[in-house]
Amino acid sequence: MAAIEILGLEKTYMVGFWRKRPKRALHPLHLAVEEGEIFGFLGPNGAGKTTTLKLLMGLVFPTSGSARILGRDWTDPDIKAQIGFLPEQPYFYDYLTAHELLDYYGQLSGVPAKQRKQRINEVLHRVGLTDVKGVQLRKFSKGMLQRAGIAQAILHDPKVVFFDEPMSGLDPMGRREVRDLMEQLKQEGKTVFFSTHILSDAEALCDRVAIIYKGELKGIGAVEDLTSTVQGKVDMVWQGTQVPASIKTLGAECHITGETVRAVISEAQQDAAIDVLRRERLRLISITPVRTSLEEYFVEKLRKAESSAGGAA
Amino acid sequence: MNARIAYIASNTFREAVRDRVLYNLIAFALLLSGAAIFVGQISIEIEKLVVINLGLTAVSLFGVVIAIFIGIGLVSKEIEKRTLYTVLSRPVRRWEFIIGKFFGLAGTLVVNTFFMAIGVFGALFYVAHKFTRPDALILVALYFIVLQFLIICALALLFSSFSSPLLSAVFAFSLFVIGSFAEDLRGFAGMAHGLTRWLASGAAYLVPNFSAFNVISSIAHEQPVAAQLIFHNTLYALFYAAMALSGAVLIFEHRNLK
C-alpha cells in the first residue's frame, strides 16, 4: 500500500490588491510514496515544495484534487496522529522549555500521560537536546530550534514523517546527525517524505526522488535509475606518477594525485588503455563507469524546463 | 471539555502568565492603595462610594485592555509566527483551536479579575474597617464585568481570525466604546425617523450592549440588582459570545495559512 498518494492536488492563489489575478502555485500533482521509503522532494526555492507540504498538512486548501495518507482521506483529522511534520524554519512557543513544548505537542497528539514523559526523554536524547530540556526556546540557536522541530515531529511515533528542508540551519555535524536519524526512521519502517534543495543529501538518503519546478512535476524515479545514465565513459585509476603518451592519444582526461593517476576515457578505448597499462607495467586499481550525478540530472531537467518554457513564450 | 481544547486553553493561559500579563495587577494594586489612602484622608462618608466606583471601573478597564490586546493576536500572531503549523498538523480541529484560545484568554481574565477583586475588597476594608451586607453586591458587578470580558474576548478573536492585529484592535476598541453607549444609541433610534431610525436601530441591536452590564454606580449607592437583569445579562453575554465565536470559527475553518 502507498503511504502517501497525491491525486491531482492543485493550488491557485488569487494575488493583487485591487485587481485580483490567479497565480498557480502548484499544477495538478500526482505522486505515490510507498511505505518505508525515504522520498526526496526536490526543487529550487519557490518551486512549490512547501505549498505541497502545506496542502498535505491541511494548512492551505487545494483548488482541486485530493490525497490519501496511509489509505485514509488526508482531511481526516485523526490520521494526523500517524503523521509527523517539521515545517521549514520552524518557530515555536518561545516562552516554553523544550520539555514543556514536547509535553504540549504530546498532549495534542494524544500520547497518554504515562508514556509521554518517557517518550519526551527519548526524543530529546535522540536529537541531542537532553542537556537543555529545561531552557526556554527563546534562548535556543537556529540549529537547536531545528532539532526541537525534529523532536516534535517524531515524538508521537508517527508512521509517516514529513520534513520541510530538515537540514536548513544545521552545521555539517548536525546535517550528518539528521541524515542518520532519517536512516534510523527508515529502519524502523517509517515513511519519510522530505523536501530539500540540497542534492547531496537527497542522493545519499533517498530511495526515490521527485523533481518539481515552478509548481510542476518534472521527473520522478529511483535515485539509482536517475543517476545510472552511463555517459559512455569509464573512470580508470592506476598507480603511477605520470601518464603514458599512448594513453593521451586515446583522448583521456587525466589527473595525477600523489601516487595515483585518474583518467576518464571513452568506453570504446577502454581495452586499448588496459593494454597500454600492461605494456608499461602499471598497476590498475579500478575501472568504473561514469554515472550522471543527481545534481547533473537535476540541472539538466531544470534546463529543459526553462528552455521549453522559453520556447512556449 | 474536550481534552485538546483544555490543553490549548491551558497553554494560552501559560503564555499570558509568562508574558507577564498579570504584572498589570501591580499597577492596579498601586492605583487602588494610593486611591484608598488618598480618599481616606480627604473625604467624609463617601470613601466607600469612591473606592467602589474607582475599584470596579479599574477592574473593568484593565480587563478590557488585556482582553483586546491579547485577543487580537491570539490567531494572527500564531499565523504570522507559524506556530500554528505544528498544532494544526496534529489531530486538532480548527474549531478546537479557536475555542481553546477563547477559554485560555477568558481564564486569564477571570484569574486577573479574582486578584483585582481581592484588591477592591481590601481597599474597601481599609477605608470602612468592616464589611456590610450590601458590599456583597460588588460580586454582582464583578460577575457582570466578567460577562463583558467574555464578549470582548470573543469579538477580539473574531477580528483576529481575519484581520491584522492593528485593525483588530481598532475594531474591538470601537465596538467596546459604541457598546458602552448602546442604550443612548437605542434612545436615539427611538426618536429618529425613516431610514435613520432603521439604521440606528440596526446598529444599536448589532453592537454589544455593554451599558446593560454597567451597574457599578448603582451598586456603589447600595441599590440592589434585579435577579431578572442577572439572568438576562448572562443569557445575552453567552449568546453574543457564542455568535462571535461561531463567526471566528467559520472564517478560520476556510482560511489558508500562507
Q: Per residue, what are the HEC states of A155-185?
A: CCCCCEEEEECCCCCCCHHHHHHHHHHHHHH
Q: Per residue, what are the HEC states of A75-106?
A: CCHHHHHHEEEECCCCCCCCCCEHHHHHHHHH
CB A4 within 8 A of CB A30: no
- What is the per-residue pLDDT across A156-207, written as a single tens digit (0 to 9) for each? 999 999 999 998 878 888 888 889 999 999 999 999 999 988 888 888 899 9
Record the cell numbers describing residue A138, joined without a space.
527563546
Inform me whether the C-beta atom of residue A110 falls under 8 Å from chain B C-beta atoms.
yes
Inform me whether the C-beta atom of residue B1 falls under 8 Å from chain A C-beta atoms.
no
Asked if B88 lies within 8 A of A58 by C-beta distance, the reply is yes
Using left for φ > 0, alpha for ψ between -120 and 50, and beta otherwise, residue A4 falls in: beta
Cα–Cα distance between A199 and A207 in angstroms, integer? 13
How near does any CA of chain A get to the CA of B96, in Å? Answer: 11
Determine the residue type at B13.
F
Lowest mean pLDDT among A117-131, B147-161, B182-196, B219-233: B182-196
- What is the per-residue pLDDT across B36-47, written as a single tens digit (0 to 9) for each? 777 767 766 688
Asked if A81 lies within 8 A of B91 by C-beta distance, the reply is yes
Closest residue to A57, CB basis, from B11, B19, B89: B89
Asked if A107 lies within 8 A of B85 by C-beta distance, the reply is no
Q: Quick one: pLDDT at residue B47?
A: 80
How many other C-beta atoms are found inside a 10 Å radius of the C-beta of residue B72? 26
DSSP helix/strand/coil, A300: helix
- Residue A293 has φ and ψ, to the nearest 5°, of -80, 165
Asked if B89 lies within 8 A of A58 by C-beta distance, the reply is yes
User: CA torsion, points B238, B113, B248, B170, in degrees to nearest 10?
Assistant: 120
How many other C-beta atoms are found inside a 10 Å radius of the C-beta of residue B139? 12
DSSP helix/strand/coil, A210: strand
Q: Quick one: pLDDT at residue A267?
A: 86
Record the cell numbers describing residue A43, joined without a space.
526543487
Per CB-CB distance under 8 Å, the chain B contacts of A77 are 91-93
Closest residue to A80, CB basis, from B18, B83, B89: B89
Q: Quick one: pLDDT at residue A84?
A: 96
Cα–Cα distance between A139 and A143 in angstroms, integer? 12
Using left for φ > 0, alpha for ψ between -120 and 50, and beta otherwise, residue B159 falls in: alpha
Determine the residue type at B32.
L
Lowest mean pLDDT among A308-312, B36-40, B108-112, B188-192: A308-312
DSSP helix/strand/coil, A134: coil
CB A278 within 8 A of CB A270: no
Q: Which domains does chain A have, with CATH numbers?
A: 2-226 (3.40.50.300), 230-291 (3.30.70)
pTM of the predicted structure, to 2 decimals: 0.85
Asked if A77 lies within 8 A of B7 by C-beta distance, the reply is no
Percent pLDDT > 90 in chain B is 48
**ipTM confidence score:** 0.87
How many other C-beta atoms are found inside a 10 Å radius of the C-beta of residue A66? 14
Cα–Cα distance between B174 and B180 in angstroms, integer? 10
Closest residue to A93, CB basis, from B4, B15, B93: B15
Cell 448603582 belongs to which residue? Answer: B218
- Can you list the residues of chain A whose pLDDT is less than 70? 228-231, 309-313
Largest Cα span, chain A = 79
Asked if B257 lies within 8 A of A107 by C-beta distance, the reply is no
Largest Cα span, chain B = 63
Please give the C-alpha separations between residue A73 and each of A58, A82, B205, B226, B233, in angstroms, as whole numbers. 11, 13, 43, 54, 44
- Is the pLDDT higher at B162 or at B150? B150
Contacts 24+ apart (CB under 8 A), B162-170: B162/B251, B162/B255, B163/B76, B164/B76, B165/B72, B165/B73, B165/B76, B165/B77, B168/B71, B168/B72, B168/B76, B169/B68, B169/B69, B169/B72
The closest of A158, A197, A176 to A41, measured between CA atoms, is: A197
Task: Give chain B's mean pLDDT.
Answer: 89
Q: Which of A86-90, B120-124, B155-159, B182-186 has the highest mean pLDDT?
A: B155-159
Inform me whether the C-beta atom of residue B93 falls under 8 Å from chain A C-beta atoms.
yes
Q: Quick one: pLDDT at residue B176?
A: 92
Mean pLDDT computed over B132-161: 93
Inform me whether the C-beta atom of residue B81 falls under 8 Å from chain A C-beta atoms.
yes
CB A270 within 8 A of CB A286: no
Lowest mean pLDDT among A291-305, B117-131, B163-177: A291-305
- What is the per-residue pLDDT across B53-65, written as a single tens digit (0 to 9) for each? 888 998 998 899 8
Lowest mean pLDDT among A108-122, A215-229, B6-20, B68-82: A215-229
Q: Quick one: pLDDT at residue B44?
A: 62
Per CB-CB distance under 8 Å, the chain B contacts of A101 are none
Q: Which residues, listed in sequence order, are joined to residue A40 by a DSSP beta bridge?
A: A194, A209
Q: Quick one: pLDDT at residue B130?
A: 86
Closest residue to B89, CB basis, from A85, A91, A92: A85
Asked if B7 lies within 8 A of A104 by C-beta distance, the reply is yes
Cα–Cα distance between A276 and A260 in angstroms, integer? 16
Asked if A85 lies within 8 A of B258 by C-beta distance, the reply is no
Inform me whether the C-beta atom of residue A250 falls under 8 Å from chain B C-beta atoms.
no
Inform me whether the C-beta atom of residue A193 falls under 8 Å from chain B C-beta atoms.
no
C-alpha of A147 from chain center: 17
Enter the DSSP assignment of A206: -
**Nearest chain B residue to A106, by CA:** B90
Determine the residue type at A217.
L
Asked if B91 lies within 8 A of A108 by C-beta distance, the reply is yes
DSSP helix/strand/coil, B89: coil
